[in-house]
Amino acid sequence: MSKTIVILISFLFFYLPAVAEEITSSEKHSFMIETVVDGLVNPWAVDFLPDGRMLVTERPGRLRIIENGQLSEPVKGLPKSHVEAQGGLLDIALDPDYDNNQIIYFSYSAADRTGIGTEVVSAKLVGNELKELKTIFKALPKSAGGYHFGSRLLLTKAGTLFITLGERGDMYRAQDINDHAGSLIRINKDGSIPKDNPFIKNSRAKPEIFTYGNRNIQGIAMHPDTGDIWTVEHGPQGGDELNLMQPGVNYGWPIITYGVNYKVGTPIGEGTHKEGMAQPIHYWIPSIATSSLLFYDGDNFPLWKGNAFVSSLAFGQLVRLEMKDNKVIKEERLINGMYGRIREVQQGRDGFLYFITDESNGKLLRIKPLD
């Protein structure tokens, strides 16, 4: 457990866009947490523009630009999100070639006469407006209900786009490879399908599927050294998972899980192991409600370099994981509820860590080292 000393030093920093709030320590670094901006309504994702501005999505359906600690008016040109329960405007990611093409990607829950489902759109950001919108993926079939949309995005320099999808609260959909729900999707960033996808030659499968048997992945990251794809996945009551994603692999939900049914605590499926289904690299009991994942590779926190960071909704924590040979060898929990539900942790272009809080008066906060 880290030791936190609450100090009132904001008056010393009145000339800065951010306001210092807390000084705390971990086993490896002491650090300061400062507010970059507040007044966000259930922010879901943050990304960083090359000129120092930041993009933040708000689940009720707004995209905001943050510049010098100030929120812009909502960006114009977004399609209408279906805002229900966990649905709305969700993740955002910049094209790896954004400097040249100004293209961003975002995911949201979209409704039509058949139901609701995750969709992904590419668009060009011009000033405070999105132009040249193109829908590049639709999760099918759509269905009723407002739960388990997944929706994290990961773009690779090779031009592929990974999209995480939940099973929409209908657990056995995750075992059907002719259904996008409960899977990790891999497409090219123009919406086409990579020729080496694992099910592309299977006429009974959705060719965009990269893995299946996933309950509700809400964190995805590429390891900076190995290029491996890692995810964190919500379990039910217990059984949140850290997984190393391999093409064509069945990750077991709901046949195997370390979680149990809500409230009653009864078993789910057939146990925790089954031949032909992958085991998590690490899991959490009780559930911490994992919501994002990153591998830190900056220089501002040298003793954290190579560590994984997982954000937690349930306990309002950042979980720091030290890893070796694809195994977790150390876990440390930071922040511990000081700011409420943490929806996402990201590494900025400046090498600092940033996180957003999923609250009606949500904040974007920055973590800076003291040593």
Query: Position 100: which residue type?
Result: N
How many Cβ atoms are within 10 Å of 353's Cβ, its own excluded? 24
How many Cβ atoms are within 10 Å of 150's Cβ, its own excluded? 32
Token digits for 301?
Answer: 């926190």
Query: Position 184: which residue type?
Result: L
In sequence order, the 6+-apart residues with CB closer than 8 A to the CB of 315 are 288, 289, 333, 336, 337
The whole-angstrom separation of Cα 334 and Cα 166 is 27
Token digits for 327?
Answer: 């195994």
Residue with tokens 């009145």: 14
Residue among 75, 89, 50, 92 nearest 129 (CA): 75
The whole-angstrom separation of Cα 318 and Cα 321 is 10
Establish whether 148 is a catalytic residue.
yes
The whole-angstrom separation of Cα 121 and Cα 106 is 6
Residue among 200, 196, 169, 199 nearest 182 (CA): 169
Query: Position 143: which residue type?
Result: S
Q: Which of 148, 223, 234, 273 is catalytic?
A: 148
Token digits for 172?
Answer: 């056995």
Q: Are 219 and 310 in contact (CB under 8 A)?
A: yes
Residue among 283, 332, 329 nearest 309 (CA): 332
Question: DSSP code of 128?
Answer: T
What is the secondary structure of 54-110 as a DSSP string?
Answer: EEEEETTTEEEEEETTEEPSPPB-PPPP--STT-SEEEEEE-TTHHHH-EEEEEEEE
Helices (H), the chain: 98-101
Residue among 110, 167, 100 nearest 136 (CA): 110
The catalytic residue positions are 148
